[in-house]
Structure 1
């Protein structure tokens, strides 16, 4: 055996030993575009940290929520990092289910995080319990060419009346163009995120000041009637199965005149690689009805470490990398500034290169700053949250109500029946939870 062969064998053995001793992080995440992009860039992290390997578990939004909730509540330990939302962070941190992020590094710059986003991720002890990968509000994305063809001009701050009129005029069934695409897929973070935010603009609320459910009030009747009628007149077929990703695909394919959804979608509808209408898209604030509230939400998808993790140090190192300014620069160098994860850092919105590359930047930050989780509704409420109610019971309640409202959209039950059942089941669960007698 030659010396060269011996040395090569030794090197191979050392390399294998290094791989064997590397710590593997299992990360649960949602199948949204920015997360898919992060997975493609993970080799940048593992190259710089050869002692850490990464294994991704990528799930549809509703499935992700169900699995990570079950895992953390039962201390299952399947995941070292979880992708969770603004709803879960304060509730789970209060229950002691998350580890605080206290070692993100000297150059991380926590103070650069947008105050509106950071406040929702900070526990009662003042510690950060999750780091935002991207933040969002919601707004209108619309086809400027179809709006012009309809003889209309989209205002920067339209009413729901204008939007509904425009949607009907932009609908062209013969050419497979729907005037408007809105979420219909059941789920507290799918159709109920949209409908709860929309209901705020119509003067509705989930509960009154004494936690009494309000689905039997005229404001919810007006909201759901308006939505179902509009979607029947101007929405796509099978809308009750469409969530964020399905509507994104429809818009990119040129099949939606308008789409009201997460501001994070802006880079995907204006990217000519993916969108057939990239050069025709305009943006406007979420609609109102003149009552003083717009239907725009506030959300962030965040990376967090479950309590009891045996790999907390490596997990926090990954989280620091994925939510850092340096990561934004990495994405910009690979795919351009317009595709950087939005809505988390002040410095991004002060960056001239980003402002130039992202025509939606100002509308996004204005929408994020306008959302007020502490005063989300026209009438007073006892809860915090714009498109959700920040109580543990909401995850189950929101999904159950979402199933009823999705059924109403599909024509499987009337709006009145959906609201009556929503009122009944919500009263039952709130009584069981001790909120009402």
Structure 2
């Protein structure tokens, strides 16, 4: 039986949140640049609720992840003014905020900023000021077909060794029906390098030493990338060097992947029977390790920010306050069920009994998020923060070039040694040019 009183209370709460300022006539349209992930697509569908309440029209520019990063970086650094709201993450927010490129976000008490998970709030802030609000947050974890692992007589503990992961992949690999493991291979600092960096971290590698000198030609990087290339080349699907999140999500939902190590946010899609053919066959474990747990799983948030200088700053902030609120999460639950809400952002979500009952992945996801430590993500000390990236402006160019080299090695076009040497040389050039040494 539906609780109409609860619906009325929800509508009243949403109305009060939206009524931050009175509707006074015509508004200029807002233009939002965002990524083509499932939760962002759903936000576009639900934006009519915001438009109807406020009279503010929202226009969407939806881009593939790598293209989005390029477009928003170019626009904000050149003050192009194409967008009133940008979808960015933990790499950009503190750097751009400190440069004065983003508007500070200071919402009212009803928003309850203290409810945002400390790891997410901290990663999107600079000097104690919030510059982007998390739409969803994530770490990374193992998502595997428990039916296949059980049938093979194997187990999947939390934080298994990478060697154990390889053994499980071999045991469940049955192409072309099922591939033992699916992993990112598409080049990009936030694509393949996000995943590969966590592998490298667990093998004891680091991007830079304490004097900011690149370490990509180290034995630890060689061991990590060689293992990755061999694992995915042997037990992964054909064309893995072109696969990122969305491509693998489609494969997994078709039942083609026996195991996937990637963003925790994927769990809400692969356990949804409306999307996934294997929704009831999936279990979760914490990320694999080699010589250390440090940096074995990443920390990220896709977040909404307002570029400084937009003429629509007030309306833009009003939209962000709505789209990242508790009430928005409840709106998604009303429309799609609690198992489909954007996660990884608010403590209240993980305290909600309805969410815990609907989301079999909730405990594993929160455990992964809480265990990621950007300030202590490598075995040896480093001068940077960040798990799957180094939080310096130069990293974007360095990571893009490294991603191209790793993808080429995965495709068999060059050796791992050549890929790492090329990436090392490119990183060295960037760091010298920037005056680090």
Instruction: Report the TM-score, using the length of structure 2 for normalisation.
Output: 0.93
2:158 is the alignment partner of 1:120: no
Moved more, 398-407 or 157-166: 157-166
Tell me the residue number matched to 1:12.
none
Tell me the residue number matched to 1:82.
86
Tell me the residue number matched to 2:5.
none
Tell me the SS of whatever aligns to 1:403. Answer: helix
2:114 is the alignment partner of 1:111: yes
CA distance in 2, matches of 1:46, 1:82: 18
Tell me the SS of whatever aligns to 2:143. Answer: strand
Tell me the residue number matched to 1:62.
66
Compute the displacement of 1:381 (Å). Answer: 0.5
CA distance in 2, matches of 1:433, 1:320: 37
Tell me the SS of whatever aligns to 2:213. Answer: coil
CA distance in 2, matches of 1:215, 1:312: 42
Where does the alignment leave 5 or more consecutive residues of structure 2 unmatched? 1-22
Which of the residues 157, 160, 165 maps onto 2:159? 157
Compute the displacement of 1:20 (Å). Answer: 9.2
Tell me the SS of whatever aligns to 2:111. Answer: coil
Tell me the residue number matched to 1:299.
300
Instruction: Report the TM-score, using the length of structure 1 for normalisation.
Output: 0.93
Tell me the residue number matched to 1:99.
103
Tell me the SS of whatever aligns to 2:134. Answer: strand
CA RMSD of aligned residues (A): 1.2
Which of the residues 121, 135, 145 maps onto 2:137? 135
Moved more, 151-160 or 224-233: 151-160
CA distance in 2, matches of 1:246, 1:369: 27
The within-5 A match list for 1:172-187 is: 172-173=174-175, 175-187=176-188
Question: How far does the alpha carbon of each residue in 1:287-316 deviate from its partner, in whole angstroms, 9 at most, with x for none?
Answer: 011424252000000000000110011001
Whose radius of gyration is greater, 1 or 2? 1
Question: How far does the alpha carbon of each residue in 1:303-344 deviate from its partner, in whole angstroms, 9 at most, with x for none?
Answer: 000001100110011000000000000000111111110000
Report if the CA contact (8 A) 1:287-1:294 is conserved.
no
Compute the displacement of 1:148 (Å). Answer: 1.3
Compute the displacement of 1:428 (Å). Answer: 1.2
Tell me the residue number matched to 1:244.
245
Report if the CA contact (8 A) 2:271-2:278 is conserved.
yes
CA distance in 2, matches of 1:411, 1:100: 46
Tell me the residue number matched to 1:314.
315
CA distance in 2, matches of 1:163, 1:284: 11
Tell me the residue number matched to 1:4.
none
Tell me the residue number matched to 1:333.
334
CA distance in 2, matches of 1:98, 1:232: 42
Where does the alignment leave 5 or more consecutive residues of structure 1 unmatched? 1-17
Which of the residues 8, 26, 40 maps onto 1:35? 40
CA distance in 2, matches of 1:79, 1:402: 27
Report if the CA contact (8 A) 1:288-1:294 is conserved.
no
Tell me the residue number matched to 1:347.
348
CA distance in 1, matches of 2:192, 2:416: 15
The within-5 A match list for 1:342-421 is: 342-421=343-422
Compute the displacement of 1:19 (Å). Answer: 12
Moved more, 286-295 or 32-41: 286-295
Compute the displacement of 1:57 (Å). Answer: 0.3
Tell me the residue number matched to 2:27.
22
